Amino acid sequence: MIDVINEGWETLPIGGVIPEGGTSAAYKTGDWRGGGKRPLLNHSACVHCLHCWISCPDSAIEIQESKMLGFIYDHCKGCGICANECPPLVKAITMIAEEQFETTL
Amino acid sequence: MNRETQVLKTDAVTVEAEAAEAPPQPQRQLLALTGNEAVAEAIRQIDPHVCAAYPITPTTQIMQEVAQFIADGRMRAELVPCESEHSAMSACVGAGAAGARVMTATSANGLALMWEVLYIASGMRLPIVMAVGNRALSGPLNIHCDHSDSMGARDSGWIQFYAESVQEAYDNILQAVRIGEHPDVLLPVMCCMDGFLTTHTSENAEILDDAEVRDFLGKYRARYSLLDVDNPVTFGATDLPNAYTEHKYQQVEAMKKADAVIRAVCVEFGAKFGREHGMLEAYCMEDADTAIVVLSSTAGSVADMVDTLRAEGRKVGLLRPRVFRPFPAADVRAALQDLTAVTVLDRSHSFGADGGPLFTEVRTALFDAPHRPRVLGRVYGLGGRAITGGEIRALYDEIETDTAPTFRFVGVRE
């Protein structure tokens, strides 16, 4: 991947072009999480409807074989859409204050 | 347009007869064309992948003719008629990012409406070629020639040509494609000609053979293309303080390299087609004591007065930069440093500056010269006002006086 921060002008791709795909995976947008809260999954309540997965704007819902596993906090910006979209009778996702977690990401 | 068939029919017989022995000679035609018609011919011959445009006086005719060429099956280009110039340039940027060869045309307020996107085109390094018929910017509303439109865009990162004649307007468009697309350059190119004075004036112009234009240009292969699915790319991502400076510096270097590429393409064009335009045209400058520096069609009137004054025994000259971006500062310095005084004619003004844009550029170029002439700045021809032979003679007379002010408007009513 292009090292944008350290690449000199002669080797940096011109025009601000990113000459490869999938680079957003390496960009940890989780540190934008400024709302003070992050989502937490209650595994026993989750019915794996995947409403959260389809609604998440940052591809921060981790799934495997159509099962909801949890959140990719490296990319979660804490918008809370997942908690809002989780069906009212399920309510498996809760937004929790950041200080209750040990790590920042 | 049936001029082509008129000329071709007689020549075609000769070509058929000689076909057995010699390869066919290029069919060049000397035609009476307006600047708009000649540029449209160039675009037809280039046949870019995409043209996106919005009409505006005095360049409406260019894309109107392109539309006709497409309707007549003489071009394959995709013409995108847009709802504004902002959209037109945006469509050019989109097509350019897709890897297309792209062309458009505009003037004055149309160019102003493109402003934001001009910087995006150059910043994304898309070699879009745009014909500009220079026209005064409103307000007050005026449709006639001055250079306030393209001079305002001089810092937008586009290469800028200023054509004196219809022939040069045609030649510049062809060369612009080669220059902009050169791998060392990859910058958009603005080919300016004077609104009405060149866009609507018929002059003799030699139109090259379609095949030799194709050979001269070659095929364009974009460095990055959104349509190249095997090599996915992102255009237009956020560029934060940690890389924006490097991207801007790349544009500085590309402009520097454009200087060498323009010279090389001029030489190649001259060798192939017999017309070599340099970075600038020097007329009667070898032994000149004083000179006028001017862009575009006014150079014709000034050259005429130079002939008259030379016949009277006065050592006067004319310098006409053909390329304004990248500015050929070293050439201007070499041409002017041994003179006693120079008047720079600007067809636009930078309000609040010491003088017009060409004046400040020329004076800056001369600052490092060991000996430098006195440099006077004169703003003329705003909103299409004609400059007369008498006024040009008076300018040459004035250069020789010590009392001439450094800056003034020509012909402003007191």
Q: What is the pLDDT of residues A49-87, one digit of tens each?
A: 999 999 999 999 999 999 999 999 999 999 999 999 999
Q: Tell me, what's the pLDDT at B25?
A: 83
**Partners of A67 in the beta sheet?**
A64
- How far is B354 from B362, CA to CA, in rounded Å? 12
B247 to A15: CB separation less than 8 angstroms, yes or no: yes
B253 to A9: CB separation less than 8 angstroms, yes or no: yes
Chain A residues whose beta carbon lies within 8 Å of the beta carbon of residue B223: 14
Write down all domains in chain B, each with its CATH number in brackets.
28-273 (3.40.50.970), 280-409 (3.40.50.920)
Element (H or E) spanning B333, and its range? helix B329-336
Closest CA–CA distance from residue A77 to any residue of chain B (Å): 18
φ/ψ of B279, rounded to 5, equals: -65, -35
Q: What is chain A's alpha carbon radius of gyration, rounded to the nearest angstrom?
A: 17
Residue spans of the domains in chain A: they are 14-100
- How far is B89 from B78, CA to CA, in rounded Å? 14
- How far is B6 from B9, CA to CA, in rounded Å? 6
Domain A14-100, CATH number (from 3.90.870.10, 3.30.110.60, 3.30.70.20, 3.10.150.10): 3.30.70.20
- How far is B234 from B228, CA to CA, in rounded Å? 11
Q: Tell me, what's the pLDDT at B26?
A: 86
DSSP-derived letter for residue A31 is G
B122, B231, B233, B253: best to mutate for the A interface, most A CBs within 10 A: B233
**Partners of B246 in the beta sheet?**
none
Residue in A8, A9, A17 nearest the CB of B224: A17
Q: What is the pLDDT of residues B13-55, one digit of tens each?
A: 444 545 556 677 889 999 999 999 999 999 999 999 999 999 9
Positions of chain B with pLDDT under 50? 1-15, 17
CA B233 to chain CA centroid, Å, is 32
| CA atoms B207, B210, B215, B221: torsion sign | positive
Provide the whole-model pTM: 0.90
Count Cβ atoms within 10 A of the Cβ of residue A48 and give its class: 0-12 exposed, 13-18 middle, 19 or more buried: middle
- Number of CB atoms found within 10 A of residue A29's CB: 14
Q: Which residues contact A70 (CB under 8 A, 6 or more apart)?
A: A41, A62
Residue in B186, B231, B237 nearest the CB of A16: B237
Could you list the beta-strand ranges (E) of B1-101.
29-33, 50-53, 78-81
What ipTM was predicted for this assembly?
0.86
A9 to B249: CB separation less than 8 angstroms, yes or no: yes
- How far is B92 from B98, CA to CA, in rounded Å? 10
Length of chain B: 414
pLDDT tier at A105 (50, 70, 90 boundaries)?
A: low
Residue in B234, B242, B246 nearest the CB of A17: B234
- The full 3-state SS of B240-272, as one line of letters, equals CCCCHHHHHHHHHHHHHHHHHHHHHHHHHHHHH
Q: What is the pLDDT of residues A21-57, one digit of tens each?
A: 888 888 889 988 877 899 999 999 999 999 999 999 9
A20 to B232: CB separation less than 8 angstroms, yes or no: yes
Element (H or E) spanning B70, and its range? helix B60-71
Q: Tell me, what's the pLDDT at B6?
A: 39
DSSP-derived letter for residue A18 is B
Q: Tell me, what's the pLDDT at B289?
A: 98
Q: Which residues contact B271 (CB under 8 A, 6 or more apart)?
A: none
DSSP-derived letter for residue B25 is P
- How far is B354 from B296, CA to CA, in rounded Å? 22
Element (H or E) spanning B396, and its range? helix B389-399
Average pLDDT, chain A: 92
